[in-house]
Amino acid sequence: APGGHAQSDLLDRRLRNIGAASVLFYRDPIEMVSASGCWMTAADGTSYLDFYNNVPSVGHCHPRVVGAMAEQAARLNINSRYLHQTVETYLDRLKATFPDHLENIVLTCSGSEANDLAIRIAQRATGARGIIVTESAYHGNTSAVTEISPSAIKRGGLPDHVVAVPPPSKQAYGDNVAAGFADAVYLAITTLQDRGYGVAALIVDSIFSSDGVFSNPKGFLRLAVAVMQRAGGLFIADEVQPGFARTGDAFWGFSRHDVAPDIVSMGKPMGNGFPMAGIAVRPELLAAFCEDVGYFNTFAASPVAAATGLAVLDVIRDEDLQNNAAVCGAYLREGLQHLAEMDARITDIRGAGLFMGVDLSANGDPSEPGGQLVGDVINAMRRHRVLIGAAGKYGQTLKIRPPLCLTRSEVDFFIEALGKSLRTCG
């Protein structure tokens, strides 16, 4: 039987070393030793299909990415205060994926740093402090972005300059999600103005991943963004989760909404595991910010980061991964719909490309979130050698996020495991 059970002394050492800050998957965590494509291998030899990871987005340990990284690391690795061909080539290539008005790119090492910078730029540009987020959003771990990450705050609630609105779900807004969400943003703007903070930015993950994955209808964000920009605030699209071709129909998640973000933040899949992230920004906003403080980041925009990021862009293009996300994503959706026809506990299937959310409810009532059932299914899936996570306020949504090099037979493996897991749970 599949195990992958970590030796208990390894777990003990982990807990002794990291203490209360240790976060692990599964009560009985898995010791991993290697990975390739969509599969991870545990110390006991069990291989797991990775459906919970959008960092190694072009595939675990992709040889072209690892090769580019290693070759550049062996040649030269320096901070960004020198000129370097590969760095500018990378930035040109990355910039070409964005709308023309986002003319500048600033690289960082994590999505948290990117959002931190984005928020500070927005506050400088608007002279206001207020930020609007969604109810279960996560935007990172610095002190400024922890304050705008309701899902990370366990005690004490949001600070006064941050207002959270319900995510763009049918449960919250009924059939007209676009109008409902825009109304909620309008109300939040009024609240922030009443409190004397004004509005600096609306920041959302453009696929609302920790909120439970909300992708449709296409374009629903446009109204809320217009309301924000008309009020003098900026729109920041957090592309850390949906970016880099995952949604299948576009390279960036915000594109499906036909909106013009003032700042875009990105990260996770950008270096396929090498820590890189950054923002794309309107140059005048960045210029104003740099009048006050400037920005330097020791490890960001190094030649190794650039060579790695460039290889990731090459692989996405050469292996047609955006198209694979669309095609495989459609096939995955068919499989999920088929399961839903046989099991009323699947109450909703959402998403785009290879980013899907599947709601479960123990009694089939969509208004009764099945967080417990999702937890049981996640653990059962592990026994069927599939790694998957949860999202949503009550953990009621299965979060589906495999590498973009997924194949149809891997989709079949996943659907079979989910079917079996559902049959043994509840």
Q: What angle do CA 260, 219, 120 make, to 5 degrees?
A: 35
Site for ligand PMP contains 241 (CB under 6 A): yes
Q: Show contacts with ligand PMP in window 63-102 (CB under 6 A).
A: none
CB neighbour class for 170 (10 Å; exposed up to 12, middle 13-18, buried from 19): middle
Q: What is the per-residue DSSP string for 116-162?
A: HHHHHHHHHHHS--EEEEETT----SSHHHHTT-GGG--SS---TTE
Site for ligand PMP contains 111 (CB under 6 A): yes
Minimum distance between the CB of residue 20 and ligand PMP, rounded to whole angstroms?
19
CA-closest candidate to residue 58, choices 239, 268, 264, 237? 268
Helix (H, G, I), strand (E, B) or coil at 387: strand
Piece of the chain touching ligand PMP by CB under 6 A; list 154-162, 180-188, 237-245, 387-395: 237-245
Minimum distance between the CB of residue 338 and ligand PMP, rounded to whole angstroms?
30
Tell which one of 129, 139, 256, 385 touches ligand PMP (CB under 6 A).
139
Whether residue 130 contacts residue 234, with contact meaning beta carbons closer than 8 Å, is answered with no
Piece of the chain touching ligand PMP by CB under 6 A; list 105-113, 191-199, 395-403, 404-412: 105-113
Q: Show contacts with ligand PMP in window 8-67 (CB under 6 A).
A: none
Site for ligand PMP contains 246 (CB under 6 A): no
The residue nearest ligand PMP at its CB is 111
Q: What is the per-residue DSSP string for 2-29?
A: ---BPPHHHHHHHHHHHGGG---SSSSP
Q: Show contacts with ligand PMP in window 260-299 (CB under 6 A).
A: 267, 277
Tell which one of 110, 126, 136, 347 touches ligand PMP (CB under 6 A).
110
Tell which one of 48, 52, 98, 138 touches ligand PMP (CB under 6 A).
138
3-state per-residue secondary structure call for 47-91: EEEECECCCCCCCECCHHHHHHHHHHHHHCCCCCCCCCHHHHHHH
Site for ligand PMP contains 322 (CB under 6 A): no
Minimum distance between the CB of residue 35 and ligand PMP, rounded to whole angstroms?
19
By CB under 6 A, how many residues form the interface with ligand PMP? 14
d(CA 2, CA 30): 11
Piece of the chain touching ligand PMP by CB under 6 A; list 111-119, 224-232, 253-261, 395-403: 111-119
Site for ligand PMP contains 151 (CB under 6 A): no
Tell which one of 87, 165, 184, 240 touches ligand PMP (CB under 6 A).
240
Q: How far is CA 31 from CA 34, 131, 277, in A?
A: 10, 40, 27
For residue 39, the tally of other CB atoms under 10 A from its CB is 17
d(CA 70, CA 72): 6
- Residue closer to ligand PMP (CB basis): 113 or 359: 113
Piece of the chain touching ligand PMP by CB under 6 A; list 56-64, 236-244, 253-261, 355-363: 236-244
Q: Which residues bind ligand PMP (CB under 6 A)?
A: 110-112, 115, 138-141, 205, 238, 240-241, 267, 277
